[in-house]
A and B are shown apart, each in its own frame.
Chain A
């Protein structure tokens, strides 16, 4: 099971409404995933030379000043942060990866949700409606968003086990399905490409694989095409980058997917009902993505 939704705005005039358009899509997918939800928002670019980190700590009273202090002292950097529920968004002129490593070392329960410039990832346990409320999703502006509602089938319901996964700067991946060659691929990426993994999850391996392809100069579209050769199993993927959005289903296409496009936006849902409340959906082109065909918008072709 599990539900996936995605919304990519083609018309920048709608950016203020992204959260208001997106939250009902996520909530509509509650039947497919009532255990936890994860959301990636692409928004609020920091000034040039600055990076953004989204960081989670499970304890409400956690003192975030320790994290700020660590990055500031070690990297001699400017660090500000804003709290949003159990997460904070850090802005810093330190390099994103170095700042993320320092933040992670501050406390054993800290988790880095995302690193990059535009991306912010939020995950929580509970019903999607609750998760959306806690992060005030409806008020978030942005250019595109991807969300996942999880029905846990093989690992515990925890925030860490919630999708979606980010393993590269500004990259996010959601996945409905299961991969069958992720153990070997994880080994290959760890031993030969020096990539690190935080979980045993198959989706994390796919996200790492795509990040690795992007690092090698492939576009998001090309990186997903590479998945068709190197990944084995069932998958419907929705991936986001700083300015791109892409969808891929495996050649068997067991896992559901519906796309809708208007002059204003591209929307993805595991089912049509997730898209049914979008403005202008009555005039949208609505179709099921073909098996083994990459669909992409924005970014570099």
Chain B
């Protein structure tokens, strides 16, 4: 965001969280840009936005920042707490620091970019959103993820992609272990193109697509197998 005089500053030291959120939730697409100062780890900041506005938060945020985001572009200049961009529908959420657990949980669309690392369960139950993490992701990331993409430029923790459906995972670094039914898969031309586009959107201009490996579902848990009948 440019530091121009057209920036509207919303100071959480002077205004209540509820007032700031209501303002951001009710303005039209042409409004802003907005800068939120003194977040001090507040919960549910800039959640439920529905207009294509630009919001920059100056500092660390608490739980569920930019949750349910639609169309807006929200930047957290700092670390984000649990569940940043959870259930995002569209738009973009950028975190310049680290993100806590369950980043972009159940996101249906949009893009989450984390410049640092994420804690456990990044992209849990992802339903179509895209996530690019420039550092590492914690254990159980993409657990039960159904659709969408996770790109990790660093390493992935244990049980990556456990019980994954049709979501795709691209990791450049080491994977501590793969979860149940998650396997390494071939990189086709279409995958390379998808990955290159995501890297470009996240501003990773120097990242080499060829350095990534792809992981996804072995689809062995999809159907009931009659030989397992005795287990029930």
A residues lining the B interface (CB < 8 Å):
252-253, 256, 271-277, 282, 286-288, 291
Q: Which of A253, A272, A275, A282 contacts B119 (CB 8 A)?
A: A253
Provide the bound-state CA to CA distance between A253 and B41, in Å: 20
Q: With the chains together, A69 CA to B81 CA distance in Å?
A: 53
- A273 near B120 with CB under 8 A, answer no
CB distance from B83 to the nearest CB of A (A): 11
**18 residue pairs bridging A and B, Cβ less than 8 Å apart:** A253-B101, A253-B138, A256-B100, A256-B101, A271-B62, A271-B81, A272-B60, A272-B81, A273-B40, A276-B40, A277-B40, A286-B60, A286-B78, A286-B79, A287-B79, A287-B98, A288-B119, A291-B139
* Complex contacts, A282 vs chain B, CB 8 Å: 59
Judge whether A276 and B139 touch: CB under 8 Å. no
State whether the Cβ of B147 lies closer than 8 Å to any Cβ in chain A. Answer: no
How far apart are A246's CB and chain B's nearest CB, in angstroms? 20
5 closest Cβ contacts across the A-B interface? A273-B41, A276-B40, A272-B41, A272-B60, A276-B41
Contacts of B79 in A (CB 8 A): 272, 286-287
Range for the number of chain B residues in contact with chain A: 20 to 34
A253 to B120, CA, bound (A): 8
Within 8 Å by CB of A291, from B63, B81, B120, lies: B120
| A interface footprint on B54-83 (CB within 8 Å = 1, 0 otherwise) | 000001101100000000000000110110
The docked-state distance in angstroms from the alpha carbon of A252 to that of B40 is 27
| B42 on the A face (CB < 8 A) | yes
A273 to B12, CA, bound (A): 13
Q: Return chain B residues, CB-CB under 8 Å to A274.
A: 41
B42 pairs with A273, CB closer than 8 A? yes
A275 and B81 CA atoms in complex are apart in Å by: 13
B60 contacts across to A, CB distance below 8 A: 272, 276, 286
Q: Is the CB of A272 within 8 A of B62?
A: yes
Q: Give the residues in chain B near A287, CB-CB below 8 Å.
A: 79, 98
Contacts of B62 in A (CB 8 A): 271-273
Whole-angstrom CA separation of A291 from B82 in the bound complex: 15
A288 partner, pick from B59, B78, B100, beta carbons under 8 A: B100
- Complex interface: chain B residues within 8 A of A288 (CB): 98, 100, 119
Write out the residue numbers on chain B whose beta carbons fall within 8 Å of the beta carbon of A276: 40-41, 60
Specify the chain B residue showing the minimal Cβ separation from A292.
B139
Q: Please, what's the 1-or-0 string for B113-140, where 1 marks a CB less than 8 Å from any CB in chain A?
A: 0000001100000000000000000110
Name the interface residues of B11-61: CB closer than 8 Å to any CB of A. Answer: 40-43, 59-60
Find chain B residues with CB under 8 A from A256 CB. 82, 100-101
Report the bound CA distance from A282 to B139 in whole Å.
Answer: 29
Interface set, chain B 87-113, CB cutoff 8 A to A: 97-98, 100-101
In the complex, A291→B157 CA distance in Å?
A: 11
- Chain A residues whose CB sits within 8 angstroms of the CB of B98 once the complex forms: 287-288
Apart from A286-B60, A288-B100, A291-B139, 18 more pairs, CB < 8 Å: A252-B120, A253-B138, A256-B100, A256-B101, A271-B63, A272-B41, A272-B60, A272-B62, A272-B79, A272-B81, A273-B62, A275-B41, A276-B40, A276-B60, A286-B78, A287-B79, A287-B98, A288-B119
B162-200 interface code vs A (CB 8 A; 1 in, 0 out): 000000000000000000000000000000000000000
List of B residues within 8 angstroms of A253 by Cβ: 101, 119-120, 138-139
Q: Select from chain B the residue with minimum beta-carbon distance to A31.
A: B43
Chain A residues with CB under 8 Å of B40's CB are 273, 276-277
How far does the Cβ of A36 sit from chain B's closest Cβ, in whole Å?
23
Compute how far the CA of A271 lies from the CA of B81 in the bound complex, rounded to whole angstroms. 8
CB nearest neighbor in A for B78 = A286
Across the interface, which residues of A come within 8 angstroms of B101, CB to CB? 253, 256
